[in-house]
Amino acid sequence: MARSRDEGMERRIIGAAMEVFGEQGFQATTLKDIAAGAGISTGSIYTYFKDKEALFQTAVLFGWDSFNADLAALAESGADREARLSFLLDRGFSALAQALPLLRGMLFDASKQRLVEPQLERVIASIDRLLSPDRSEVSDDAIPLERSPRQALIRILVTGILFSAALGESKGAGERLDNLRFAVLAFLRLNRNLDGQPGASAAAEADSAEADSAEAGAAQGAVISADAPPRAGEIP
């Protein structure tokens, strides 16, 4: 008689797998290790997963799917940009804290790195959609970024966060993630390049500064010319 599936038990196994895979890596981890972490027998795992590889892939997809579903729901909610940004950071760093052990196992195990790229592309697309401004949110002097450059900026930001979090030691991970979140929030609020390039006012300031520099250079050249002694054949 086949054993019945218990959703709570399945999530318990996935949670234990995330922890053990992250701490020991895929190759060194056994189903016995995961069963011990979940407080069940090894045979119980086979009720839910065919083998270790299937469990690992399920654990990887579980966190990404949940995060993307939340972002999709928020994108449809009609919330303003500030609310979307706040939710993105809160939800993103919360998910990162939970998945950090497994993330280390993915990023630093060459045989599992192939699982990162498609999930990363999904997250980038979700964030891009979430942060794409409505016309009502774009100021008159804003110059919106094209989708491809904006996604490139999002990719740099997301991969930087993931590797910064994963490279640190487990001890102090919470404080490190808090610092990362603060830095990202400051960047996004001060540099709105994810939804628009510096506007016309910023460009005008840059042009003005360049013009002032040119005028100063011309004036300095005139002073030098006036102070220089006459060359041979010239009338002073």
pLDDT tens for the chain, 236 residues long, are: 455 677 889 999 998 998 888 778 788 899 999 999 999 999 999 999 999 999 998 988 887 888 888 888 888 888 887 888 888 899 889 888 888 877 877 787 777 778 888 888 988 988 888 877 654 444 444 444 556 788 888 899 899 998 888 887 777 788 889 999 998 888 877 766 555 444 433 444 444 445 555 555 554 554 444 455 555 554 44
pLDDT of residue 14: 92
pLDDT of residue 185: 86
pLDDT of residue 211: 53
User: How far is 236 from 232, CA to CA, in rounded Å?
Assistant: 10
Q: Of 71, 72, 79, 38, which Cα lies nearest the Cα of 55?
A: 38
pLDDT of residue 218: 54
Please give the torsion angle defined by the CA atoms of residues 115, 120, 123 and 128, in that order, rounded to the nearest 10 degrees. Answer: -160
Domain range summary for the chain, segments of one domain joined by +: 61-190
Q: Which two tokens stand for residue 10?
A: 């399945």
Q: Which two tokens stand for residue 147?
A: 């989708």
The answer to whether the CB of 199 falls within 8 A of the CB of 142 is yes
- CATH fold of 61-190 reads Tetracycline Repressor; domain 2 (1.10.357)
pLDDT of residue 72: 86
pLDDT of residue 3: 58
pLDDT of residue 173: 82
201-207: list long-range contacts, CB under 8 Å, 24+ apart.
Answer: 201/141, 202/141
